[in-house]
A and B are shown apart, each in its own frame.
Chain A
């Protein structure tokens, strides 16, 4: 395996692995805050048990997220030292703030997990909220750092030198808001559907219906609000990318030739050698409208971009189609759910809807990973867009393929163990919570 590809693959795998756990850490504390609040207000033991059961899962995921995050902070240098040499001081601001936010989160988690019966009840609830808010903040901040890579700001690039560095300007680059918004909504949607789906499965199997129904409702509402808002956020992102990174948009849409107006492609098989895409459903003028707000606008194709600045088209296009396809599906599921919720019919009668949620368990996360593939692969060949190429940033150390194999094995093992642990936690719910007894932590 080529060292450069190995480095890219290792980074992609590390990020893809870490993000699943981060999302859970960013989102689940809010679910727990709702159930915890409901317990404090209504004294219904089921809500207390739910909060405790959820927090055990969160503790497992949080630890895995924390160590994989530590890995990433070193991996930036281990794999991309030439990038970090220049980028470190420029985009370091969001990282230092993320470190602060994450530190607060770790402390708050300590209070929350170990503070049952030891702290004032409302302070204990508050620490749970702090975990969520600081988690969300760290997510936003680290995405702002990535946004800088897509939309470099806060420095002058003169004769290969990085001058007049302004870290605040770098942090508040043109892409940070749209990227952060899209990521936050994605985190809520992905985590919400995953959690709701697992509880839906338990309801379908007639296990602890009271427990799992309450759990389902909290997760599903968060998930569906996320899924409803996400297309709006996607629109903001698409218009932004059309302006700032036309190569990325062209790759997303497999738009080899500039067109005016440009059709929106649904599906399609990309042939990178011939530079064609076949078999897609074309909606005339729709891409012009989505990208620029005008059905007759010209959309820049890859023919206007120098060949050595083309991102990989096939991967970007397929990933984009997967993301939007799933996003649309989840949108429809959400509309259905809210419709049924509105009509106040008990969900246990609507088994078909619960089955839909079960099918949707992995979909949010698949869309999330697909979206990240779009933005990261779509940015190639650049590591700092328009400034530094990825291949110029990689470590000179040979043998990175071995590193890739070892860390891949570690991530795969961890995934298996975490899934196994979660499975056991779920199996133990009836044993631990059937009698609504106080459970020893």
Chain B
């Protein structure tokens, strides 16, 4: 049953990235949109995200619950040593979610909209950035559980070039996913062209920040290159990601947008797979050289069994319902 639980954990993290990450990406796109086009982007985005955003962000809660129920040591280690980035990320989540709903549901549309919009855009950026910083910090090996001073324990674990690079990379990927999704959400040719340009911009940004991630990894002696290129799965994933990248650019430039979403989702999945497969099941790498492994910190048998059962039963109820929600509200010509 622990394999079931671990699978759900990975699925929840992936889905949060592909769906919730895209929600953040929409705000990031809006941040980098010229003032004259912002209301057009906002309108398209609201139609696209409105019905599904609450559900999209549930995947984060599912992942966190799986962690604190099934792998409590991982949850508590993160909660202690990554307290600060987690708190900042949470401020971002609160600000983004409320600003998004408030700007639409304010019965009067006046100068308050300026405030909501600013909060929405910047918090989308900050949340995606810190999600990436947290993810990078888990594997960078900077977390020092034997630290004795505040800086080493609570700051140096996450405030380093590698984590920041991963954060920026995440921002670019989220923006990229959002731009791709938005292309299919509008019928207007002018908007389609704008989103295609945004997707190209974000993709280039992702490649640049991705390179920064590798450079920072080399500098900090993180065996990222080994993980990605020396394992069969990692290598295949990267090759597939690169191939789909080529195909993606071709489709973008030619304006053929049909299977772009699937391709973009596939590419991001391959990137995540490439980074994480080689050091699985180690979830957190520590400065001491040890690692906290999913398999070693797994909770007691009865807990894992009932958790797995709850997840399986939950999927039976949730996945069809969720699928129907997406189907009903996204049934547009593509």
Contact = CB atoms under 8 A, between A and B. Distances in A.
Interface in A331-374: none
A84 B55 CA distance: 26
Interface in B40-67: 50-52, 54-55, 57-58, 60-62, 64-66
Contacts of B307: 92-93, 96, 167
Given A92-B65, A92-B307, A109 B54 contact: yes
A78 B87 contact: yes
Contacts of B66: 96
**Which one of A95, A407, A432 has the highest number of Cβ atoms from chain B below 10 Å of its Cβ?**
A95
Contacts of B311: 96
Given A84-B72, A421-B105, A395 B310 contact: no
Interface in A393-408: 395-399, 403, 406-407
A419 B72 CA distance: 38
A97 B310 contact: yes
Contacts of B51: 110-111, 113-114
**Which one of A62, A75, A96 has the highest number of Cβ atoms from chain B below 10 Å of its Cβ?**
A96
B240 interface: no
* Interface secondary structure of A, over-half rule: helix
A99 B98 contact: no
Contacts of B75: 77, 81, 84, 88
Given A60-B105, A63-B101, A84-B79, A406 B91 contact: yes
A167 B57 contact: no
Contacts of B52: 110
Contacts, number: 203
Contacts of A115: 328
A280 B31 CA distance: 61
A114 B51 CA distance: 6
Contacts of B78: 77
Given A59-B101, A89-B303, A92-B307, A103 B76 contact: no
B302 A165 contact: yes
Contact of A67 (B72, B94, B303, B314): B94
Contact of A81 (B54, B76, B154, B310): B76
Interface in B60-88: 60-62, 64-66, 68-70, 72-73, 75-76, 78-80, 83, 86-87
Interface stretch (A288-296, A316-324, A384-392, A423-431): A423-431
A250 B334 CA distance: 67
A396 B307 CA distance: 29
A60 B318 CA distance: 24
B113 to A, nearest CB: 12
B100 interface: yes
Nearest to B153: A397
A324 B116 CA distance: 40
Nearest to B54: A106
Contacts of A3: none
A99 B87 contact: no
A93 B54 CA distance: 23
29 contacts: A56-B105, A56-B107, A59-B105, A63-B54, A64-B98, A70-B97, A71-B93, A76-B68, A82-B76, A84-B79, A88-B72, A89-B72, A92-B68, A92-B299, A93-B306, A103-B55, A110-B54, A110-B329, A111-B328, A114-B51, A118-B329, A165-B303, A166-B302, A395-B79, A406-B87, A410-B95, A414-B94, A421-B105, A421-B107
Interface of B: 50-52, 54-55, 57-58, 60-62, 64-66, 68-70, 72-73, 75-76, 78-80, 83, 86-87, 90-91, 93-95, 97-98, 100-102, 105-108, 150, 153-154, 299-300, 302-303, 306-307, 310-311, 313-314, 317-318, 321-322, 325, 328-329
Given A59-B105, A100-B318, 19 more contacts: A60-B101, A63-B98, A63-B101, A70-B57, A70-B94, A74-B79, A76-B68, A77-B68, A78-B86, A84-B72, A88-B72, A96-B65, A96-B306, A96-B307, A103-B58, A110-B52, A115-B328, A165-B302, A424-B106
